[in-house]
Amino acid sequence: MTSGTRLLIGFTLGVMIVVGAIVSLATGSWWFLILAIGMHAIATVIVLTTIGSRLREQDKPDPVTEARLAEEQPEGDRPHLAT
pLDDT digits (tens, 9 = 90+) for 14-72: 888 888 888 888 998 888 888 888 888 888 888 888 888 877 877 777 888 888 888 88
Q: Decide if 81 is inside a domain.
A: no
Q: Could you tell me the residue range of the domain that residue 31 belongs to?
A: 3-72
Do 32 and 23 form a contact (C-beta atoms < 8 A)? yes
Instruction: Give domain status of residue 21, yes or no.
Output: yes
Residue type, 61: P
Residue 65: inside a domain: yes
- Cα–Cα distances (Å) from 39 to 21, 36, 43, 66, 74, in that order, read 14, 5, 6, 44, 56
Residues 26, 5: contact at Cβ < 8 Å? no
**Domain total of the chain:** 1
pLDDT for residue 72: 82
Does 83 map to a domain? no
19 within 8 A of 37, measured Cβ to Cβ: no
Residue 66 within a domain = yes
Task: Specify if 63 maps to a domain.
Answer: yes
Question: Does 10 map to a domain?
Answer: yes
